[in-house]
Amino acid sequence: MILCFDIGNTDIYGGVCEGRELVAEFRKANHFHPSADEFGVFVRQILSSKGVKLESLKAVAVASVVPDCIGMVREAARSYLGIDPLILKAGVKTGLKIRTNNPSEVGADRIANAIAAVELYPAMDRIVVDMGTATTFCAINQKDEYLGGVICAGMGLSMKALAQNTAKLPYVDLVRPGNCLGKTTVESIQNGLYFSHLGLIREVVGRLKEEAFEGREPVVIGTGGHAGFFREESLLSAYVPDLVLRGLCRAVELNSTL
């Protein structure tokens, strides 16, 4: 079994893969970065609650967009699991050809998503739309070349910006509304967040299709904490909520010396 961690700005998303199957998953808020001991205790407790035996773990993989957390997770894995984790970063085998101006600056979560997209949809053009704190778009062509992408504020971050920078607009729950026309302030904000993001996805996917794939039709994969709101929209070809964990598991295989 492989234990994987996707360390984001808002949450730490974790899971255990056995072969190609995700057998356990969990989330932990990452607003206040835990210490190695706190995180190690949490991981052992959550694995126990999921019925995962520590001795069954063969590897640990980490993708982090929070540099300060990498050392913490590495220390926790070594001290509490007895495993030196694979940190997804420059120099790690990915099976991708990174065609950006500065490959080392591409986020580890985006690389993990791309690794999984290549495995799930071989010999195809792909766009990964990851909707978390940020909403990111990644273009990977049929040759498994990572061509670049787009980074935007996510739905939650947009809502937070409205609430924190205005006098009367409140925090709201994120929802998938039935109509665009809001009848209350809360409805208007909720609808604005959803439909502006829907328009964002449509526009960016359309432009990437022309710029990256010369008009060819790519598979569009939705993932991330907010992607579920859009899973029924025709813009998405597939909804794969655990895409980043699948990519980390594959990264372990690509870098295995066994």
**Residue tagged 């991330």 (tokens):** 224
Taking each continuous run of H as one helix and of E as one strand, the counts in the chain are 6, 11
Residue of 37, 68, 84, 109 marked catalytic: 109
Where is 139: in which H helix or E strand? strand 134-140
Query: Is 144 annotated in the active site?
Result: no
CB-based contact 61:2 (threshold 8 Å): yes
149 beta partners: 138
| Residue 257 assigned as binding residue | no
| Residue 7 in marked binding region | yes
133 annotated as a binding-site residue: yes
**Is 242 flagged in the annotation as binding?**
no
Q: Does 109 show up as a binding residue in the annotation?
A: yes
The four Cα atoms 201, 202, 203, 206 give a dihedral, to 10 degrees, of 110
Was 125 annotated as part of a binding site? no
Annotated ligand binding at 6? The verdict is yes
- Give the Cβ contact number of residue 216 at 10 Å: 12
The secondary element (H helix, E strand) that includes residue 131 is strand 126-131
Is 13 one of the annotated binding-site residues?
yes
Annotated binding site for ATP: which residue ranges? 6-13, 133
Annotated binding site: 6-13, 107-110, 130, 133, 185
State the binding site for substrate.
107-110, 185
Residues making up the annotated binding site for K(+) are 130
- Active site residue ranges: 109
